[in-house]
Amino acid sequence: MNRFFVGLLASTLLACLPVQAQNLDAQRPRIRAALEAAERGQFDAAQYRDIVSHPLYGWVEFTGLKRNIDTLGTAQAQAFLKRYEGQAVAEAFRNLWLSALSRRQDWPTFRAHWKPTSNLTLQCAELNARQALGHADAQWVKDAQDVWRKGIKPLPDICDPVFALLANKQALPAALRWERIDAAAAERQTASMRHAARGLPSGEAALANDYAAFIDGVHPRALQWPKTERSRKMAAVGLARLATKDPAAAERQLPQYANALGMNEAERGQVLNQIALWTVASYEPDSARRLNEVPEVAFDNNLHEWRVREALARGDWRAALTALRKMPAKLRTDSRWRYFEARLEEKTGDKAEAQRLYREAAQSATFHGFLAADRIGQPYALCAWTPKDSAQAKNTVARDAAIVRAMELWKLERPGWATSEWNDALSRFDDTQRRIAVEVARDNGWFDRAVFSLGKAPDELRLYELRFPLHHGETIRREAGKHGLDPAWVAAEIRAESVFNPKARSGANAMGLMQVLPSTGAAVAKRLGLPWGGAASLYDSDTNIALGTAYLRQMEDKYGVPYVAIAAYNAGPTPTARWQSQRPNYDPDFWIETISYRETREYVARVLAFSVIYDWRLNGNALPVTDRMLGRVNAKRKAFVCPTAQAPKS
């Protein structure tokens, strides 16, 4: 037995002793060193006796065991599971070990430690285990068929023996194969369609494969398909997919397939919806015509919104108002569209109705709610909720073992494990405990828990102090002042970009609090004569804020007004230049709403709304958003009120 496992045996005995009060801050370097040693395969438990009762020692053990998972002895694995039963680390280990047992085909041990999971690979492994142990009974068949139905995307190879046995048992009839083919077709998963077709009679298999081929690339053989509902649906899926790449080609070819197969209005509408959507999203010349050709039954919320934007982009206020009035009631009453309905009523002459609609929209603490309040000269509606929880309640949550582990893992920059512990804790918490847990996370510098863990109860959206944290305030003020920027704007950018996570990193390699690209950071540092320590320096909060605010200033200098600068900060110069050339001299609210990229359109509105809220947090009042987005920093500031009808419960 190697020294790692000798150490584990000793640690098991020590772990049975009462846990002494610990200074977690002081022990953090030791835990970090232990984890790093375990990752290298150099962990010697005997050298870390001082941390054996630390809350994270299970994750240290987990890291060491993980390296040898394929050769790990059953007794050692069982001891680990028993030692940490009920903890997130045990379930993380269980999944790894079950996968290893599956590879070894140690089915008795696998079954003995099985727990239900949503992991399809492990589900298929468990079905293989039951089959190998002689338990492929009626329940096995039902469970295997359930996995078959879930497999819209291609399933792992370990599922193949399961489905082969299902077929041998005559439990994969053609109807069940077609059920999966139909479901996969709706998601355009043609590989799954072909896989499901393998057991069909030859004629049906050929047709199923031809359906898949059509979805991959429209072909004329479809004109000879049987005139069935399934054929029509497959044609609609294939033509709708073509529309995402070439709307004009889909429009040209739709009539012949619709006529040959007898497509109904809904099926034609599915294709016309995509033709119109992928045309209007770029404001192409045929946008209005293609929108008008979509049957009303085929309009979804997305296309309803685009129909309004298309008319706004042309400056056709009456057409935009008509399109807006056709929206479903729930969508139309959203503060965004209440505000634009008011704007369009105002544009077309009904000022009294506009005022009524502005008053409705102004009840919302959102970008469009703030805009509406500006239009009618009202204070901003913001109903903050600051619960009065007992010290005992806070202490109980803060001392919860899973929360303690989550906070320590977060500080050790192990966000995946931290989230596992967090989710485990929240699975046991009621709403009050969950909210308090977010406060604990905030106090430990883990700010995004307020974004991901609040909102189940309506009043939670009014927890503005939690949802809009203030951190690095001195640096934000200093760098904002240096570049002539509003600190509330800088704080809003950080909240929108990273939720104050200094180690955030995007798929595009944007890094740190303000999500600065290394190339941008290097260029800004060179321009300003600042020291540049390479991409890793963007994880330093002060450096990131210094470079991010300098770049924000650069964007405002280039584009002249903050709302365009915010768009450029998110999307880059090329699309921003296109939007400026397409709609020069547009009112800012209309220009923002007609940005063709959804991410940027929402981003600009979000940052401007966040700026108002951070202004309130910093100063108790705010620069009007109408002035803010135009860079008018000396405008009269606005107060905030909480309408009585909206006041949250204590």
Phi and psi, residue 219, nearest 5°: -140, 155
CA distances (Å), 425 to each of 56, 84, 401, in order?
15, 15, 8
Task: Judge residue 622's burial from the number of C-beta atoms within 10 Å of its C-beta, 0-12 exposed, 13-18 middle, 19 or more buried.
Answer: buried
Token duo for residue 405 = 């582990």
Residues 123-126: contacts with CB under 8 Å, at least 24 apart? 123/147, 124/155, 124/156, 124/158, 124/159, 124/162, 125/98, 125/99, 125/158
User: Looking at 267, 341, 460, 497, which residue is catalytic?
Assistant: 497
b/e burial code for range 146-163 (CB count within 10 A of at least 16 → b): ebbeebbeebeebbeebb
> For this structure, is 479 an active site residue?
no
Q: Is 220 exposed, middle or buried (0-12, 13-18, 19+ CB in 10 A)?
A: exposed
Distance between CA atoms of residues 532 and 517, nearest Å: 13
Cβ neighbors of 500 (< 8 A, separation 6 or more) are 445, 447, 448, 469, 471, 472, 494, 513
Q: How far is residue 503's CA from residue 2's CA, in Å, rounded to a whole number?
A: 37
Torsional sign, CA 308, 311, 316, 322: negative
Distances (CA, A) of 86 to 7, 41, 92, 109, 110: 23, 26, 11, 20, 19
The C-alpha atoms of residue 647 and residue 462 are separated, in whole angstroms, by 10
- Tell me if residue 380 falls in helix, strand or coil: strand
Q: Which amino acid, 380?
A: Y
Q: Which of 465, 404, 463 is nearest to 58 (CA)?
A: 404
Q: Two tokens at 544?
A: 């990131």
Q: Which residues are catalytic?
A: 497
